[in-house]
Amino acid sequence: MRKTNLVFALVLALLVAFGVVGIAIAAVPTDTSALRNAVTVEGIMAHEQAFQNIADLNGGTRIAPPPPPGSGTSGYDASAAYVVEKLKDAGYKDEEVTVQKFRYPFFQELTPTTFSRTDGTAKAYVDDTGEGTDANPPGYFHIMSYSGSADVVDAPVVPTNDIQILPDSPDNTSTSGCEATDFEPASVTEPQVALIQRGGGSPGCNFQTKARNAQAAGYEAAIIFNEGQEGRTEVIPGTLSGLRPDGTAWIPVLMTSTAVGEELYNAYDPAAPDAWVPRVSISTDTLVQNRDTSNIIVDYPGGRTDRTLIVGAHLDSVPQGPGINDNGSGSAGILEIALQMKKLGINPTNHVRFAFWGAEESGPPQWGSKYYLDQLGAAQRKDIALYLNFDMIGSPNYVRFVYDGDGSEPGAVPGPNGSGTIEKVFRDYFASQNLRTEPTPLDGRSDYQPFFDAGIPAGGLISGDTGIKTPQQAAIYGGTAGEPYDSCNHQACDNIDNLNPKSIEELADGAAHATLTFAQTTSAVKGTDKAPKTNTAASAMEYEGPMAIK
């Protein structure tokens, strides 16, 4: 070695040792063009057609089967078998493909829930989650998952203790329903409905806690209304997080807007003659049971297992349809990446694991990815460098959404340390292709959430679901303003015709680029024990600019 080179190397080593030069110096630019060229729309669409054929043979869905005496086969089982077959045909060894079986609580609303007021101001309420807006007019509700079936007719509504109504309580932190003593014992002569306000006060008080207390007090149903502060007025798609300990369903529990809850609460007047109370009717028809399903876990050979990259997508559909966009598109996309990596014989620096999750659509929680992480020890979880999630990449009225890992958008929650780097890799890639992107929050609605909860950096892409495309988005991405990104989301029409090949091509290329970039980086990628409460734009893995995009 020449003397000048030796001196430079020694100085550089000292700078790195004392933190003057960041660890980005170790990052190796990665040319991802071969993999991106190999991952084609045609290849992905072939998998999508296979998923459509499977749904056609299984009642139009790709969900897990019911327990015995059910048929024992399902659209989900067939989808999983297809994935395994394609991987084995591509050369993956038996020990590299794991079918991880697990049991999860299944919930399905068989017929639409009805909810109406039956006293002197009779009115029917509207079943609509109203996701993403605080502007719901009065009258909106939605059934919480794992609610049972019942017909509650003309029943009195009884408020719990600790309800706080704005603006009289501007610092509302309601603990309504968190304690058994919040409930008056229900009447033994007629059914009654408990009125409860959203709010915890402690990590141990959630929707299930409130339902358990209402049921123990003898109520036939419960209404939980949103608290009323800014950002907490709309209907949300709440969950009771599983079955009761005895394996049965909970009483019917409805989530309503703040307006509905306050209307019922203000109508309650125990001081009036005959203690006047509002009355409601609630009718629910649901299926709640334990079911068996599986994750498909695929280990690409080679690479450092202490820096494992997991690339995931959920494989199941909702009961209402075949789920060819949600999430056949994400599953087909990462399957094609796994197949083409094998065909190209890529030798990764870091270990790559592909995951096809079961039972995502029965969450939250996301049962498949949660089960996977729950089976790992602390050391095994620590070996996961980061998680990439792809939940819909073919929406017909699409936008190139990138998960907001650093929490830079107003009101956004940042992901675990390192998530900002994942976002930057995606956004820099699309910028290098002269393609605009938009951030979307890590709001807990897909399989990144269990990784988020474990402090593992997470990110990914999504092409949009029920949100409405704005005129500004239509000007950038094309498509139709004022229409959903996917008007068939969670419906029977989410079929092979409900896909945008342009979206698939662009987002699959982004997925392939990020997968190979993180597979080949020589920088340390580490999260934190828990998701941070501060902005995480500065990652444990530093990343500087596009990595030799060609």
Q: Which of 357, 249, 246 is nearest to 293 (CA)?
A: 357
| Six token digits for residue 373 | 């992480």
Segments in 269-345 forming alpha helices (H) = 328-344
Residue 142, CA distances (Å) to 114, 252, 294 in order: 9, 11, 29
> Which alpha helices (H) appear in 375-436, and where do they start and end?
378-382, 419-432
Look up 360 and say whether it is catalytic. yes
Residue 87's nearest CA partner among 47, 41, 56, 52 is: 47
* Contact by Cβ (8 Å): 466, 486: yes
Closest CA to 332 of 19, 50, 29: 50
Q: How far apart are CA 356 and CA 358, in angstroms?
A: 7
**Phi, psi values for residue 60, rounded to 5°:** 85, 10
| Residues 79-93: b if buried by 16+ CB within 10 A, e if exposed | bbebbbebbeeeebe
287/295 Cα distance (integer angstroms): 23
| CA 370 to each of CA 104, 141, 322, 373: distance values in angstroms, whole numbers, following the listed order | 11, 28, 23, 5
H or E stretch covering 295: strand 279-300
What are the tokens at 499? 């896909």
Total residue count of the chain as it appears in this document: 550
Marked catalytic residue, from 109, 262, 360, 423: 360
Q: In the numeric block, which tokens belong to residue 136?
A: 């719901």
414: preceding bond cis by omega (within 30 degrees): no
d(CA 396, CA 234): 27
Q: Are 327 and 394 in contact (CB under 8 A)?
A: no
DSSP state of 531: -
Strand (E) or helix (H) holding 287: strand 279-300
- DSSP tag of 7: H
Q: What is the DSSP letter of 50?
A: H
Report the C-alpha gap between 478 and 136 in whole angstroms.
28
Using the structure block, give the residue that is written with the tokens 């499977």.
54
The residue behind tokens 């998923």 is: 51
What is the rounded distance in angstroms from the CA atom of residue 318 to the CA atom of residue 313? 14
Distance, C-alpha 408 to centroid of its chain: 20
Measured distance CA(62)–CA(78) in Å, rounded: 8
Peptide bond into 273 cis (omega under 30): no
Residues involved in catalysis: 360
